[in-house]
Amino acid sequence: MTLITFGQVFIVCLLGAMSPGPSMAVVIHNAIFKGRYNGILTSIGHGLGIAIYATFAVLGLGLIIETNIIIFNSLKILSIIFLIFIGMKSILNKEKLNLEKKDIKEKTISFLQGLSISILNPKILVWFIAIYSQFMSINNELIFNIYLVLIAGIVDAFWYIFLTLAVTTASALTFFQTKILLIKKIQGFLFVAIGLALLADLFQ
């Protein structure tokens, strides 16, 4: 494989990570309301989920999930429940901004939320199957297949870590402090709206 091919995979993974969606909303939510450290852990968890789906695509397991309507729709339903739950929790939560929740339980929850929002979104797997099919070949060297997995997870995690750092600057947090309850409600309604939109899509 040429350096051009390696570069193409990197760019494709970066563009995929940058696409707005539920994942971005969850990472930004945790970064703002739980602090920078928890936002980073959410990003790492999400990157791990992406790497897992990239592995499925490389091994050909993704097609099994994509063509099994029960598994595919079950993941969608769990994702919808997860988003609506976070949304309602945000709408009803009236706590002030906690800039750094560092207890072990909170760190674990943040990491698992990042992992969950990626794993519970089967469209990510479909995306990898479609995109990675352009780079897959029986003649691929093992090192290239490993690269396909690692670059997907690493690029994704670093993109969301960058977003976390951007929304947790001193000036950004000062703004969030003054508008905290309004922002929580807006984010909450957005989560619920995304969940309901996915639910409507499920029945089309």
pLDDT in tens, 13-33: 888 888 878 888 899 888 988
Q: Of 59-63, 80-84, 88-92, 119-123, give the lowest mean pLDDT range.
A: 59-63
> Per-residue pLDDT tens for 158-168?
999 999 999 88
Q: Where are the domains of the chain?
A: 3-202
Confidence of residue 183 (pLDDT cuts 50, 70, 90): confident
Asked if 160 and 46 count as a contact pair (C-beta separation under 8 A), the reply is: yes
Once rounded to an integer, what is the mean pLDDT over residues 31-36? 86
Confidence of residue 3 (pLDDT cuts 50, 70, 90): low
